[in-house]
Chains A and B, each alone.
Chain A
Amino acid sequence: MKKSNLAVSIMIACFPLGILAADVPTETPTPKPEMIEAYQTWKNTDYSIGSPLGGLKGNPANGRKVAIHRGKGNCLACHQMPIPEEEFHGEVGPPLDGIASRYDEGQLRLRIVNMQELNPGTLMPPFYKHPDQFNRVSKKYQGRTILTVQEVEDVVAYLMTLK
């Protein structure tokens, strides 16, 4: 097998784990539509999404990485967080230290999935809104959610550790 073919195979294998083209330089090929995971529907019940998307279990350590990653969660753009190794935490959103003492898991999930359900004027990007509900998305990101289902659950699991 040629080297390039191997690279492509690795990419395809890694894709379900959430390696999106997000912040990676442009030479990364955009995944073909059939490679994009199926959208998982969710429901806002009493300002909460009670059960995990796709029934997945979140990994808090990976959630922390997603939260830092500038092309994925990029939570630090707006929020101060207990992540001392990263400089320049943003000031626009509320600090997230202790967030799990203020909200339960389902309330946090809704806030990550689509904060617009709570505040239509919010600046916070909807990390798991239906791809058809966006306007004028650049080609590279069309048809996709900002985070994968697994990444959403990982971030929820991470935030739940911030008691």
Chain B
Amino acid sequence: MKLKATIIWGVCMLTAQLSASVFSADVFSGYTLLKQETKEMQDDDFLNQGMATVEKGGKLFASIGKNGKSCETCHGQGGKKLDPKVIATYPVLNSKTQRPITLQQHIINEWTENLGNAPLKYESSDALALEAFVRNLARGQVVNVQTGGKMVPFFEQGKKLYEEARAGQLDMACASCHNLYPGLKLRAQVLSQGQSNGFPLYRLADGKVVGVQTRINQCFDQFRAEGYPFGSEENTLLELYMNARGNGLKIETPAVRF
């Protein structure tokens, strides 16, 4: 019996390893791992709790800042002048700094520099609401982060952080779980591929909308590691790599996840 169980496990692992290598080319959204009721919650805007945050973001987007302008002054009512295809390319190379910039950082910068508002804290509820609102405009759009040209070194650094940087007392890297074992259970929780196409998303375990950098730090916390500060170089590189790793997936913001 015991031997049989081990053989079955061995076959399962072989299948998992084989499919893991397929997964690396064949990305899939965490949506596919959800229970039917959670899928329905995400799909119905009236049930999707993340939509309240998107609406809040919409109000902030239209709110007049100290300079007498709102986001709508340039980007049109409800952001209609924003191109969903461009939203799907974030993080992008910032022409001023020649470094990658996340969508949320871009919004935070505009919020103070252009509108003259008080600075927004990275991953604060207002910053997340604005990001959720903007990314929701590109819902259904295919993620398309640039990884070539000047982005190459940043993509490679992000990849290294994701795959090789073991951290914490449990000494794990992101890839230890999300590259090798997606779809398998860690205790009662199914491991996802660690895709970021639904962020900012409504996390049922937290009862609120979380950003990708908050989620990264929650993972670090679980393996007893110090996370990188929000908006830091490392988190930007991780977000860049994670988004690019999900190139081809559709944006689901606001997704619903556990």
Contact = CB atoms under 8 A, between A and B. Distances in A.
A118 interface: no
Interface residues of B, number: 32
Given A88-B187, A92-B184, A92-B186, A123 B177 contact: yes
B78 interface: no
B25 interface: no
A98 B6 CA distance: 9
A63 B180 CA distance: 29
A24 to B, nearest CB: 14
B186 A137 contact: no
B169 interface: yes
Interface residues of A, number: 33
Nearest to B226: A136
B180 A77 contact: no
Contact of B181 (A87, A92, A129): A92
A90 B186 contact: yes
Interface string B157-191: 00000000111111110001100110011111001
A123 B2 contact: no
Given A136-B225, A137-B224, A125 B172 contact: yes
Contacts of B22: none
A77 B165 contact: no
User: Is the contact region of chain A dominated by helix, strand, or loop, or is it mixed?
Assistant: loop
Contacts of B223: 125
A144 interface: yes
Interface in A71-94: 76-78, 80, 87-92, 94
A139 B227 CA distance: 11
A138 B167 CA distance: 9
Nearest to B221: A138
Contact of B167 (A89, A129, A136): A136
Interface in A110-163: 116, 121-123, 125-126, 129, 134-141, 144, 146
Nearest to B168: A137
A123 B181 contact: yes
Given A136-B168, A138-B226, 10 more contacts: A77-B187, A92-B181, A92-B191, A97-B5, A98-B6, A125-B171, A125-B172, A129-B171, A134-B169, A137-B224
Interface of A: 76-78, 80, 87-92, 94-95, 97-98, 101-102, 116, 121-123, 125-126, 129, 134-141, 144, 146
10 contacts: A80-B9, A94-B13, A95-B5, A98-B6, A123-B172, A123-B176, A125-B171, A125-B223, A136-B168, A138-B169
